[in-house]
Structure 1
Amino acid sequence: MSTGDQTVSQSVQIEITDDLEALVEVLPPTIVEALHKIGRGEDLLEIVLDLGRRPEARYVDGEVTLTSKEVDRDELDHVVQRIGHFGDDNRAGIERTLHRISAIRNREREVVGLTCRVGRAVYGTIDIIRDIVESGRSVLLLGRPGVGKTTMLREVARVLADKKRVVIVDTSNEIGGDGDIPHPAIGRARRMQVPTPVLQHAVMIEAVENHMPETIVIDEIGNDLEAAAARTIAERGVQLVGTAHGNTLDNILMNPTLADLVGGIQTVTLSDEEARRRGTQKSVLERKAPPTFQVVVEIQERDRVAVHHDVAEAVDALLRGRPIPPEIRYRDASGRLHIERA
């Protein structure tokens, strides 16, 4: 129903699966015993094992020391021997799960620390932006680390793949999980793994040239080569759904490396007459090109987003000092979706 500038939808059921036992099985027995005593598996975020320090478990509401005994090399080796191969980014996984194990190494490249992060497939999160991603427009997801960008991206791939040809460019196996067979959470989407992070841009182009996708899903666009590849893909008429480092649209706009994703910035010198007409100085900032992504979604919390439906218009307004308020969408405690239009 509609209530003025707010729309309220029916409630949505959120389902979470985590394969937590698969992660617990690779941990040393003393750590496993401590975790079982604490319980609270649904609140567990990650286990931290650093050589010569006490092991810790991080939960949504804080950290807990698991044992009084300091972590030794045998315990680190116990984990390393039971997981997949570490890539150039020092990340490994457990086959057909979404768990991620990240290593800290010393100068001799020996593992001296491990962060074992619980990976969860969350079903139902896409409803907050489903109409946007199904419109065919390219969508950029922003937000702080851990807010749920990759989780939402994974479900976008699954939902779109029911109707379109979707290819995921999965640089660190963050979206589809470890191993050659991807996690069921991506549905019918195809997944291309990336040999090393520096080749992500090349695999993005390869995906378009070799596999005829209608949509490409990409996590963590982070440098100018990847931004250029994204523009090339968009110019070929392929829908892009991706994430980038940054919390808000203006963060991206002021980042020289990533600004091209939203059109970029250039300095323009106006004539005296035009400057008077606009009421500005003669040198002004203007958008350089059409945005690669037509829509930007800022994920503020797991159940709350701000949406810029027309990135070109939003960027132009920002550069003129008159920002347009975004549309706010949020899910309340009962699961009902609210949309507040500016």
Structure 2
Amino acid sequence: MTQRRITDDLQALLGVLPPKIAQAVIQANDSDHLLEIVLDLGRRPMVRFTSGEHELLQEEVTHAEIEYVVSRIGEFDADNRAGLERTLHRISAIRNRRGHIVGLTCRVGRAVYGTIDIIQDLIESGKSILILGRPGIGKTTMLREAARILAEKKRVIIVDTSNEIGGDGDVPHPAVGRARRMQVAKPSLQHEVMIEAVENHNPEVIVIDEIGRELEAAAARTIAERGVQLIGTAHGRTLENLLLNPTLSDLVGGIEAVTLSDDEARRRGTQKTVLERRAPPTFDVLIEIQERDRLAIHADVAAAVDALVRSYPLPPEIRYRDENGEIHIEKAPPTTVRPVGMGMASSAPAPLGGMRRSSGVEQPTQPRPAAEQPLRSANGLNLELPAASAQPGAPLQPVHIYPYGVARNRLQQSAKRLGVPAIVVRELSEAEALITLRTYYRGRQQTILEAEQRGLPIYVLRANTNSQIEQMLAELFNLTYHPSALDNWEETAMQTQRAIQLVMNGERYVDLAPASAAIRRMQHEMARQADLTSHSYGKEPNRRVRIYRE
């Protein structure tokens, strides 16, 4: 176990505060957990600890007190941040419309030696690592320590925007060790300094804090493609957050809608338009800081993104430090078949409650009233009407379902909405029931014939829609079915992709069906990714998107 040592030069920060405010901070007597001191004109000074926020004094902050602090610190850069020479403290300013400073946030900067031991094996692996976490949770502290450790054996360059990592002044803080530091004059120029670092100084590792713009994401990809290890942080808390951020999603490969051939869609058991990873990820490993001493680690970002867009998310590895400083690692469990909904997988085949098998077609054991009888075709069930309610309190047994020609992610989502223990399997040999479409059943596909030979119940749907799937699941688990009012996102995505294709093939414009605001945002994003223009018009509830070329 590595002993952690903390240095914060707190006296240097207290020295620039008005004496009575500095004295109030000292009397609070909790310097180890001090995060920020907030001074806003006309308001009481506040102090922020890891446990919460408290008032320091009853008196309001005056112009003179703000000027007292400003006169004792370095100059404010273009991003309204200043620092103290050879310390890690940061003072950020809030200005009024005339440019006068009316508020200050004084953040305590700390060098924590030993904090990186929880991921030191990853840092020293040579892989590029991206760290996510909410503000103030310790991303920059971890980044600083990583730079110091790596600089003992490698050539490390820190691209230091706002002097966050190496501290204020021309001489970097000792906490970065032998790492070299390149300062960034303006945050908007960070991407240029990143490229300059690679071209001019021959680094083996580049350390970057707060990748937040598209140009910086593009520069990071360029650096990674040149074989330089990247250690960086970005805005966001989880991998899912990053994928939904159009500016930064390229850091983990990005996602795009692609259209599959009929054969490939049938093989995958999905609709023709699916989401896939757009490119290799810039970063190999992604670390989510959940708490100060608890991390979730995606050791293979490419595999994690691929699994996420296919609705089979891979559980991350969890690492945490206990009260005694001991590090614990919980390896991600191996995933083969992922349970959907409320139930868990069972090692033994589960009986289908209330059903019997006959010629591969499921039939109820008890007759139902005519109004509740499902409509039948000669070759299977077309589930159109509500099924009977299950007996109160009866636990639902898991059922392994093999979808053939039916979208797996729709089946999973429908099971989740209904709260039934449907387990989607990838091999027919693992299945206890098969769900397919009427066109496939009538075509007597080989998979259908094999299912009949094995005596599996076969559910036949008229269409590959959420409504039909939910009705099938309700029938299978003997539940009362209430149609979902949720927007059909995947069907809308498919229609939007068709519209995009029409415009790219020469149509002047295509109007899409009226949709909710959330659906329209998705449609605009798909048009943007296709380098097309889109515009919403009309009034709710008939507001719609038009896609066209400029």
**Category of TM-score, reference length = shorter chain:** over 0.9
- Please state if 1:141 is matched with 2:131: yes
Structure 1 residue matching 2:73: 3-state secondary structure:
coil
Report the CA distance between 1:262 and its aligned residue: 0.6
How far is the alpha carbon of 1:62 from its aligned partner?
Answer: 2.5
For 1:333 and 1:86, locate their aligned partners in 2 and report how far apart those are by CA, in whole Å: 40
Q: Distance in 1 between matches of 2:189 and 2:251?
A: 19
Residue in 1 aligned with 2:27?
Answer: 37
Tell me which residue corresponds to 2:246: 256
- 1:305 maps to 2:311: no
1:273 corresponds in structure 2 to 263
2:313 is aligned with 1:317: no
1:55 aligns with 2:40: no
Decide which of 189, 204, 221 is 2:211's aligned counterpart.
Answer: 221
* C-alpha separation in 2, matches of 1:27 and 1:286: 53
Are 1:191 and 2:219 counterparts?
no
Q: Which of the numbers 85, 88, 92 marks the counterpart of 1:98? A: 88
CA distance in 2, matches of 1:132, 1:79: 41
**SS of residue paired to 1:129:** helix
Per-residue deviation, residues 151-197 of structure 1 (Å, max 9, x unmatched): 10000000000000000000011100111101111000000000000
The 2-side partners of 1:205 and 1:66 are apart by 45
**For the aligned residues, what is the CA RMSD?**
0.9
The answer for the alignment partner of 2:168 in structure 1 is 178
CA offset at residue 12 of structure 1?
2.8
SS of 1:96's partner is coil
Q: Which structure 2 residue ranges, 5 or more long, are not aligned?
A: 333-550
- What is the alpha-carbon distance in structure 1 between the residues aligned to residue 289 and residue 27 of structure 2? 35
Equivalent residue number for residue 2 of structure 2? 12
Tell me how far 1:147 sits from its aligned partner: 1.2
Q: Please name the residue that 1:155 is paired with.
A: 145
Whether 1:125 aligns to 2:115 is yes
Structure-1 separation of matches of 2:326 and 2:222: 38
- The alpha-carbon deviation at position 41 of structure 1 amounts to 1.7
- Cα-to-partner distance string for 1:232-261 (whole Å, 9 max, x where unaligned): 000100000000001011111111111111
CA distance in 1, matches of 2:173, 2:53: 29
Q: How many residues align?
A: 332
- Residue identity opposite 1:103 in structure 2: A
Residues 41-50 or 230-239, more deviating: 41-50
2:234 to 244, 252, 265: 244
Cα distance in 2 for residues equivalent to 1:116 and 1:78:
13
| 1:36 to partner: Cα distance | 2.6
Q: 2:77 — aligned with what? A: 87
SS in 1 for 2:153: coil
Q: Which residue of 1 aligns with 2:350?
A: none
Residue 54 of structure 1 deviates from its aligned partner by 1.2
Q: Aligned partners of 2:176 and 2:292: how far apart in 1?
A: 19
Give every structure 1 segment of 4 or more consecutive aligned residues whose post-TM-superposition deviation is greater than 3 Å: none
Cα distance in 2, alignment partners of residues 328 and 39 from structure 1: 34
* 1:335 alignment counterpart: 325
Distance in 1 (CA, whole Å) between partners of 2:299 and 2:56 is: 46
Letter in 1 for 2:147: A
Identity of aligned residues (%): 72
How far residue 63 of structure 1 moved from its aligned partner, in angstroms, is 2.5
Matched, 1:288 2:278: yes
Corresponding residue for residue 511 of structure 2: none
The structure with the largest alpha-carbon Rg is: 2
User: Aligned partners of 1:302 and 1:250: how far apart in 2?
Assistant: 20
When structure 1 is superposed on structure 2, of 211-220 and 119-128 the one drifting more is 119-128
Deviation of 1:43 after TM superposition, in Å, equals 2.1
For residues 179-233 of structure 1, the C-alpha deviation after alignment (integer angstroms, 9 at most, x for no partner) is: 1101111000000000000000000000000000000000011111000000000
SS in 1 for 2:274: strand
Per-residue deviation, residues 105-126 of structure 1 (Å, max 9, x unmatched): 0011000011111111111111
Counterpart residue number, 1:73: 63
Q: 2:98 aligns with which of 85, 89, 108?
A: 108
Q: CA deviation at 1:294?
A: 0.6
* Counterpart check, 1:209 vs 2:199: yes
* Whole-angstrom CA distance in 2 between matches of 1:20 and 1:94: 11
Task: State the SS of the aligned residue for 1:137.
Answer: coil
Q: What is the identity, as a one-letter code, of the residue corresponding to 2:111?
A: A
Question: In structure 1, what residue type is equivalent to 2:159?
Answer: V
Quick one: distance in 2 between partners of 1:266 and 1:47?
Answer: 44
CA distance in 2, matches of 1:280, 1:206: 45
Within the candidate set 141, 159, 168, 1:169 is matched to: 159
Where in structure 1 are there 5+ consecutive unaligned residues? 1-10
Q: Structure 2 CA distance, aligned partners of 1:184 and 1:173?
A: 13
Q: In structure 2, what residue type is equivalent to 1:204? A: M
* Separation in 2, partners of 1:95, 1:61: 29
Q: What letter matches 2:151 in structure 1?
A: A
2: CA distance between counterparts of 1:249 and 1:260?
12
Tell me the alpha carbon deviations over residues 64-90 of structure 1, each in whole angstroms, 9 at most, x when there is no partner. 322222111111010000001101111
TM-score (normalised: structure 2): 0.60
Partner of 1:4: none
Matched to 2:184, the amino acid is V
Structure 2 distance, partners of 1:334, 1:62, is 24
Match of 2:477 in 1: none
Aligned-residue offset at 1:133:
1.0
TM-score by length of 1: 0.95
The alpha-carbon deviation at position 14 of structure 1 amounts to: 1.5
In structure 1, how many angstroms separate the alpha carbons of the residues matched to 2:2 and 2:324? 8
**330-339 or 224-233, which moves further after superposition?**
330-339
Q: Provide the rounded CA distance (Å) in 2 between the counterparts of 1:175 and 1:207.
A: 16
Q: Letter of the aligned partner of 1:35 in structure 2?
A: V
- Equivalent AA in structure 1 for residue 290 of structure 2: Q
* Cα distance in structure 1, aligned partners of 2:12 and 2:239: 38
